Amino acid sequence: MLLLGIQPAMALEHSFVADVVQRVAPSVVRIDTERPVERQPFDPTLIDPLLRDLLGDPPQGPERERGQGSGVLIDNKGLVLTNAHVVERVDAVTLTLADGEQRDGQVIGTDSVTDLALVRLEGRSAPPSAPLGDSEALEVGDWAIALGTPYGLERTVTLGIVSSLHRNINSLGFSDKRLDLIQTDAAINPGNSGGPLVDAAGNVIGINTLVRSGPGAGLGFAIPINLARRVVDQLLDQGEVVHPYIGLQLVPLTARIAREHNKDPNSLVQLPERSGALVQSVLPDGPAEKAGLRRGDLVVAVADTKVPDPQVLLEVVDSARLGEPLPLHVLRQGRELTLSVKPAALAGMS
């Protein structure tokens, strides 16, 4: 007999998002960290005696700073992929699994240039790993699902789409990184860093890394999983990631910008009215200086690749072999030169 119009329970049809979460969520972990922070030296004699009586003497020694982020298990041996900024310079790492169990973690390696890191989950057994997808197969408009622990709220899931691909991180104000990011409108907040961005089939396509605040807020960014695979391989094989560099600070130049510059009667130099990567400065004792590059040179090609902007040159350099000559085609004061530069390893980044 039905009471008060209550209908018999019916099986609910869950969305594809629920299916993805059921598949991937067991592989997502919360990462809690501690790092020492040195206090600024302070002369206790400068404290008012009345305040000392009320508050006591200031604490001595280093403080402990706590941090939090997310990570995702990528193999059955307890290897966790996360952001470098989550676990850099920490001396204690605790991983909280999806079932609430807490275990210690050991940082295997970090790479600040790509903001990626590996942490080993301590213990004999590990939860199932998340399947890794192919970020090169993504199209703008594909579904994107972000999992992680924003603001300490565990097992949080947000849904959006891939808003853009190959978003250069330098355009977001990070000049010390080398990343083409996946842009998404899936909500990514503090604490999501290091968690997975997943496609509609439940495959990890990226590692959440940052959200833009202020103007343009609501835009999230993730590191493509194909790049993460390469970084993982190098960290496991070599303990560090080698990034070739040539020692140039570059700005984009177009024919239009050059024409406007050249019309200015106060211009100190005339720029070639072509697109390319304009050398703004040359790092002292770097490979580019040794090869003869100067401020004001315009790089228009590298090897057989045209250089319409600095990003193309940086991509070629990043995939170049260390110490092997790389020909740069340069315009200098109306002359075209070919200079040979030998990329070197960027020091102090691993």
pLDDT tens-digit map of 118-135: 999 998 888 999 999 999
pTM here is 0.79
pLDDT of amino acid 72: 96
Residue 339 pLDDT > 90, yes or no? yes
Q: How confident is the model at residue 192 (pLDDT cuts 50, 70, 90)?
A: confident
Share of the chain above pLDDT 70, in %: 84
Question: Whole-angstrom Cα distance, residue 38 to residue 11?
Answer: 57
Dihedral, CA atoms, 305, 310, 311, 312, nearest 10 degrees?
0
Q: Are 82 and 69 in contact (CB under 8 A)?
A: yes
Active site residue 193: yes
Q: Give the span between the Cα atoms of 98 and 19, in whole angstroms.
A: 16
- 19-33, 42-56, 91-105: which has the minimum mean pLDDT? 42-56
207 three-class SS: strand
What's the chain's average pLDDT? Answer: 85
As a whole number, mean pLDDT of residues 11-35 equals 90
Residue 217 pLDDT greater than 60, yes or no: no
Q: Are 306 and 275 in contact (CB under 8 A)?
A: no
Catalytic site residue from 115, 163, 329, 350: 115
Concatenated DSSP letters for 64-127?
A: EEEEEEEEEE-STT-EEEE-HHHHTT-SEEEEE-TTS-EEEEEEEEEETTTTEEEEEEPSS--P
Which listed residue (27, 32, 70, 85) is catalytic?
A: 85
State how far the Cα of 295 lies from the Cα of 289, in Å rounded to an integer: 10
* Residue 14 is among the residues annotated as catalytic for this protein: no
111 is catalytic: no
How many Cα atoms are found within 13 Å in the side-chain-facing hemisphere of 131?
11
Q: What does the DSSP 8-state code read for residue 269?
A: S
User: Which one is predicted more confidently, 56 or 113?
Assistant: 113
Instruction: Say which of 27, 193, 275, 350 is annotated catalytic.
Output: 193
Taking the C-alpha atoms of residue 262 and residue 17, their distance in angstroms, rounded to an integer, is 55
DSSP 7: P
